[in-house]
Amino acid sequence: MRVLFFGTPDFAVPSLRALVGEGFEVVGVVTRPDRPTGRHRSHASPSAVKVAALAEDLPVLQPERPASPEFVAQARALAPDLSIVAAYGHILSQALLDVPPQGSLNVHASLLPALRGAAPIQRAILQGLTESGITIMRMEAGMDTGPILYQVATPIAPDETGGELAVRLAELGAEALIEALTLMEETGLEPRPQDHARATLAPKLKREEERLDWSCPAEVVARKIRAFDPRPGAWTWCRGKELKLYGVRVSPEAGAPGRVLAAGDSLLVGCATGAVEVSEVQPAGRARMAARAFLNGRGIAVGDVLS
């Protein structure tokens, strides 16, 4: 089977590698253009999927506008039997979905119809869900609305971060994809329409959502810190500068919202109810560090109020 693969972040890499490992002919790997990085924006950074594709000697395509007629024609010239999409970052046009005769499949990091959209992993943790999973679905023009081919569930651990859950779901997604393709070839899979009345959304994260609100209960604050660990990082103002917090647990201690109640190997910060204890921080423009190192550098002290 000739496969055209679409993907960009680390999440998509296990699925690409699984396709190659199982002997599928990957005729092209579509990912975002390289992005400028570095202090002076002078270096171009490839996506994780491009790096993985080049390691496998696979052809890489990096269209600025995947919906353009020029790219649709380029995709058609590759003559794929099937397209696979895993966290590509663009909604594919109907013209592009129609290129492969066997259609297009999506590896989505939730149990659809729950959490349709760009950020299902972080929003699952933000919402305090105890279960997530992978859905392999047939793609259509709507946002994650296509019929379901295969699903597998996994529990979310109480202390699991967004990064940890993403790694697990990426591997689970690769396994689910190969299982779905195998069943399609051997016995066929009957697509199951989604129950649209039960759909929930997981839109792209916004900058203002990453800021911590100390007027919330400790459990809510802790979920946000875990959801955004390691990226983009939940942040707060500390002495007029941005400070990201990591390594959180809920404490029964109480204090004024945002006030630093204790500072040592960890920082204890009051919330509307309870408090959170964080073991690592990242000051603006610096690397992630232990809370003790930040304290020793006199970046924070008991009595400071975070906002």
Residues 216 and 182 in one domain: no
Mean pLDDT of 217-226: 98
> Could you give the dihedral angle defined by the CA atoms of residues 121, 125, 129 and 135, in that order, rounded to the nearest 10 degrees?
0
Return the CATH number at 15.
Answer: 3.40.50.170
For 1-19, b where at least 16 C-beta lie within 10 A, e where not — what string?
bebbbbbbbbbbbbbbebb
Residues 28 and 76 in one domain: yes
Return the CATH number at 213.
Answer: 3.10.25.10
| Structure tokens belonging to residue 125 | 């943790």
| Domain limit, last residue, from 146, 169, 198 | 198
Strands (E), the chain: 2-7, 25-30, 35-37, 43-45, 60-61, 82-86, 104-108, 131-138, 148-155, 234-238, 241-251, 260-263, 267-270, 275-283, 289-290
Does residue 304 sit within a domain?
Answer: no
Q: What is the pLDDT of residues 15-26, one digit of tens each?
A: 999 999 999 999
Residues 148 and 77 in one domain: yes
H or E element, residue 70: helix 69-77
The DSSP-derived string for 211-235 is B--TTS-HHHHHHHHHHTTTTT-EE
| Domain limit, last residue, from 175, 198, 221 | 198
Pairing of strands 43-45, 35-37: antiparallel
What rounded mean pLDDT belongs to the chain? 96
Task: Please determine, for residue 31, whether its predicted confidence score (pLDDT) is greater than 90.
Answer: yes
Does residue 265 sit within a domain?
Answer: yes
Residues 57 and 166 in one domain: yes
Does residue 129 sit within a domain?
Answer: yes
Q: Is the pTM of this model over 0.85?
A: yes
Q: How far apart are CA 206 and CA 306, in angstroms?
A: 21
Q: What is the pLDDT of residues 159-205, one digit of tens each?
A: 999 999 999 999 999 999 999 999 999 888 899 999 999 999 999 99
Does residue 40 sit within a domain?
Answer: yes
Nearest of 167, 176, 192 to residue 84 by alpha carbon = 176
Question: Can you give the pLDDT at residue 281?
Answer: 98
Residues 213 and 91 in one domain: no
Question: Can you give the pLDDT at residue 38?
Answer: 64
Does residue 305 sit within a domain?
Answer: no
Residues 160 and 224 in one domain: no
Does residue 52 sit within a domain?
Answer: yes
| Domain limit, last residue, from 130, 165, 198 | 198
Does residue 231 sit within a domain?
Answer: yes
Task: Please determine, for residue 41, whether its predicted confidence score (pLDDT) is greater than 80.
Answer: no
- The number of distinct structural domains making up the chain is 2
Q: What is the pLDDT of residues 280-303, one digit of tens each?
A: 999 999 999 999 999 999 999 999
Nearest of 85, 83, 203 to residue 135 by alpha carbon = 85
Residues 154 and 286 in one domain: no
Residues 216 and 121 in one domain: no
Residues 189 and 150 in one domain: yes
Whether 104 contacts 82, CB under 8 Å: yes
Residues 90 and 219 in one domain: no
Domain range for 269: 207-296
Residues 230 and 285 in one domain: yes
Does residue 290 sit within a domain?
Answer: yes
Residues 114 and 10 in one domain: yes
| Structure tokens belonging to residue 81 | 């039997």
| Structure tokens belonging to residue 282 | 């990242």
